A and B are shown apart, each in its own frame.
Chain A
């Protein structure tokens, strides 16, 4: 049996997917979700093999939801987004279906995935990796991504507006996001944030640090060739030799 979850905020859009899935008795829809919050819960609960996922949804969009999923299942996007917007990550997509899509088109997408899945056991790991790649490219092309960061804390989703972020600190496989309300962890790399955050507002001042330039009150020399940025909160963020010109550029100095 193949476990599937449908996530779309339009009930009728979910109906189409369910109807088309009737030709695939192996595929069982375990749950239908109205938004990313429900979707995330359902994914944790059921550990599905495949998601049918809309992009534009309430509160958090499809990409933001996937960022919070630890074990990525295979994903088929169903969206009304214009083709050119989606072309950016076309190469990495398992598949995407432009609404409205035909039954043939749907079956082709699903069959492609089913074939690759049964063809080799080695490629089963390829699907989540593909999805992860897709996410990296997609988040860079989604403008809404850059003005907020979605994190998960104690199983709950929290949306942090980027202006509330004081600085980011690398911590092993995670990035620590330091805000007024405390620190949050996100399973991402510094390079990811460097790509998605507005470079006018966030400067990579150190291999392990990125800071919100609006929070900086002063910069002090520190040891030889290094500096310390003092934030409004009093926090001290190390600035490396390479990071210093970047900070100055972001501050307009």
Chain B
């Protein structure tokens, strides 16, 4: 700002001497008065805009403000110069003639600088808001995941412990198996909290423990089929993605019907992506329309979007008896880290 002002004083002074043939003394005083005051007005309007920008009609505000400032600037410089050079008639005449030009130039300079400041402040504000939004999204994402895990655990855990309690008296060997499976499952949950990608067979094994425990709880009512094609076994996926889908499948499968049910999970490779399909029987009459994307599914959709920036990775379909959920996982992980 200071350097710009200094250069402007020099350039304008030289211009006045060379072009308008003013005497050097007059020219330097004229230049200094005009430019220094103009600089003061510019810093005044930009400082003001840093603290106050009307939410509506900010450009109209800036235009009227700069017009007022230009008029004040013109009045002060005019009277000041007249006061300094009261007897230089040729100069006063020239000053009078230059009033409109002075005004226009001053107005253009003040307006341009003000608009520039306005745009700059807006961009800074947007950037800050973007960072804030990102931070709050990250927080809510973590909270969401935490909540998901918490939701899963207590109900499942206490019911499983209750089953073990029963088995200890009637089938101790099976009680022991159940304790081991439950431990494996819980250890898996803890271990995978900080992992970004895990191999498909590991995720399926984890689901198998979960399903085995549920099978003990619900006895003959629940049976499961988990299959994957050989080539899909080298693929990877984010952890905890399938868990809520399978929970949903069990919830709607077991709680909507009173019959025995089968839940099938299939995984395969297609178009360089991992496809995982989960199917469960359900009662279409019990479900309200639009209920197909419940809380569990919408949070999976959101997580897939956060990971891959795509909205088409979760598909659900249903006929009268079977509800199908299909998840597609692009293989975008950094392969060099995994070998």
Contacts and interface: CB of A to CB of B under 8 A. Distances in A.
Nearest to B289: A163
B169 A19 contact: yes
Contact of A58 (B161, B216, B258): B258
Contacts of A71: none
Contacts of A142: none
A12 B174 CA distance: 12
A137 interface: no
Interface stretch (B185-193, B237-245, B249-257, B265-273): B249-257
B256 A59 contact: yes
Interface in A1-38: 9-13, 15-16, 19, 34-35, 37-38
B162 A59 contact: no
A58 B254 contact: yes
Contact of B166 (A12, A34, A37, A58): A12
A13 to B, nearest CB: 6
B162 A13 contact: yes
B172 to A, nearest CB: 13
B2 interface: no
A146 interface: no
Contacts of B162: 10, 12-13, 16, 80, 99-101
A8 B104 CA distance: 88
Contact of A12 (B158, B216, B255, B286): B216
A221 interface: no
Interface string A21-63: 0000000000000110110000000000000000011110000
Contacts of B170: 15, 19
A10 B288 contact: no
Interface in B177-227: 216-219, 221
Contacts of A104: none
A10 B217 contact: yes
Contacts of A58: 254-258
B154 interface: yes
Contacts of A37: 258
Contact of B163 (A10, A34, A56, A147): A10
Nearest to B158: A80
A9 B143 CA distance: 32
A46 to B, nearest CB: 20
B167 interface: yes
A9 B254 CA distance: 9
Contact size range, B: 20 to 34
B158 A100 contact: yes
B21 interface: no
B159 interface: yes
B165 interface: yes
Contacts of B257: 58-59
Contact of B158 (A34, A57, A98, A161): A98
B155 interface: yes
A159 interface: yes
A70 interface: no
Given A12-B167, A16-B166, A59-B286, A99 B159 contact: yes
B interface SS class: helix
Contacts, number: 73
Given A56-B255, A59-B286, A9 B218 contact: yes
A82 interface: yes
Contacts of A56: 155, 255
A119 to B, nearest CB: 31
A13 B288 contact: no
Contacts of A38: 258
A21 to B, nearest CB: 13
A107 B167 CA distance: 20
Contact of B217 (A12, A57, A100, A163): A12
B158 A19 contact: no
A12 B288 contact: no
Contacts of B158: 80, 98-100
A159 B254 CA distance: 17
B93 to A, nearest CB: 73
Interface in B271-294: 283, 286, 288
Contact of B219 (A12, A16, A19, A101): A12
A176 B68 CA distance: 74
A19 B166 contact: yes
A115 B254 CA distance: 38
Nearest to A38: B258
A57 B262 CA distance: 18
Contact of A34 (B167, B217, B258, B283): B258
Interface string A158-181: 010101000000000000000000
Interface in B142-169: 154-155, 158-159, 161-167, 169
A206 B162 CA distance: 48
Contacts of A99: 158-159, 161-162
A16 B155 CA distance: 18
11 contacts: A10-B219, A12-B219, A56-B155, A58-B255, A59-B255, A80-B155, A81-B155, A99-B158, A99-B161, A100-B164, A147-B288
Given A19-B170, A34-B221, A58-B258, 19 more contacts: A10-B163, A10-B219, A11-B219, A12-B162, A12-B166, A12-B217, A13-B159, A15-B170, A16-B166, A35-B258, A58-B254, A59-B255, A59-B286, A80-B154, A80-B159, A98-B158, A100-B161, A101-B162, A161-B288
4 nearest A-B pairs in the assembled complex, by CB-CB distance: A80-B158, A99-B162, A12-B166, A100-B162
